Structure 1
Amino acid sequence: MQKAMGLLLGVMAVTWLSACAPEVGSDAWCQQMKQKSAGDWTANEATDYAKHCVFKSDDNK
């Protein structure tokens, strides 16, 4: 029973923490990425940053 409760609390914590992150491509996300060292970006983050923050198009607003 304790293992199940611990697992449930763990899942809830991860869900809660991930809900705090801004949506990829939003202005808040672009600002967050500008503040993060470019050396710490993942390949996906760099691609998304270029797509959504540098080369904005009307489709990505």
Structure 2
Amino acid sequence: MKKIFVLITSIAALLTLTACEPKRGSEKWCKKMDEVPKGEWTLNDASDYTKYCVFNQKPEE
């Protein structure tokens, strides 16, 4: 019974944390990335930041 409770709690925590992440390319995401040191960005982060935040392209849905 404890294993099931731990599993359900872990899944709920994971879903809660992923729901808080702003959508890549959104205005909130751009502001969040402005606060992250550039040295911590991945190559994908830098590419997406340039595409969505600098050139103002809309993310595909």
**What is the Cα deviation at residue 22 of structure 1?**
0.9
- Identify unmatched segments of 5+ residues in structure 1: none
Normalising by the residue count of structure 2, what TM-score does the alignment of the two structures yield? 0.85
Q: Quick one: distance in 1 between partners of 2:39 and 2:7?
A: 34
Letter in 2 for 1:28: K
User: Is 1:48–2:48 an aligned residue pair?
Assistant: yes
Q: Quick one: distance in 1 between partners of 2:6 and 2:14?
A: 12
- The Cα RMSD (Å) is 1.3
Letter in 2 for 1:39: G
Normalising by the residue count of structure 1, what TM-score does the alignment of the two structures yield? 0.85
Q: How many residues were matched structurally?
A: 59
Question: Percent identity at matched positions?
Answer: 41
- Identify unmatched segments of 5+ residues in structure 2: none
